[in-house]
Copies of this chain bind each other. A is one copy, B any other.
Amino acid sequence: MHATSDDRRAISRELVELVFQVTGRLREGFTRAAADLELPPAQAQALVSLQGSARMRDLAEILACDASNVTGIVDGLEQRGLLTRQPDPADRRVKHLVLTEEGERRRAALLAQNAQAADEVFDLPERDQLALRDLLKTLVPDGRHGSCGPRP
């Protein structure tokens, strides 16, 4: 007995379903963590994406959205006192985004809560975790790692 291509197609439908279920749980976790900190999802996403000093342009790249959106998102974070816009001494067009202490705290809280949700979702014996990781790795083109965080 061997698998027909119909069988394989049926399995791949099932895999789509399962993978969306898992992502849905992770996304729920992120959205809840953001809501707990009273942050709109887009601001929360920007916050976890920021580290050290990034330019507006960099953030737009990271968030994979148009630069015009970043203005509003950063406005929100600035109004909440979570970051400041700092001028670049060498190029007066650019602004550097620097997290405040409170911004760093909220960022750490978001990451921690997100990590906890992930631990709950991927609560498997280590052998299975590793097997799952290796299988997923074969699906993802190399070098694309780290380009995309949890999108609410």
Contacts and interface: CB of A to CB of B under 8 A. Distances in A.
Contact of A11 (B20, B129, B144): B129
Given A15-B132, A18-B136, A19-B136, A126 B24 contact: no
A133 interface: yes
A63 to B, nearest CB: 14
A70 to B, nearest CB: 20
Contact of A148 (B8, B21, B126): B21
Contacts of A11: 122, 126, 129-130, 133
Interface centre among A130, A135, A146, A150 (most CB of B within 10 A): A135
Interface stretch (A44-52, A86-94, A113-121): A113-121
A137 interface: yes
Chain A interface size, under 10 / 10 to 19 / 20 to 34 / 35 or more:
35 or more
B138 A13 contact: no
A67 interface: no
Given A22-B19, A136-B15, A8 B128 contact: no
Interface of A: 3, 7-9, 11-24, 26, 115, 118-119, 121-124, 126, 128-133, 135-140, 144-151
Given A16-B26, A132-B15, A139-B121, A21 B126 contact: no
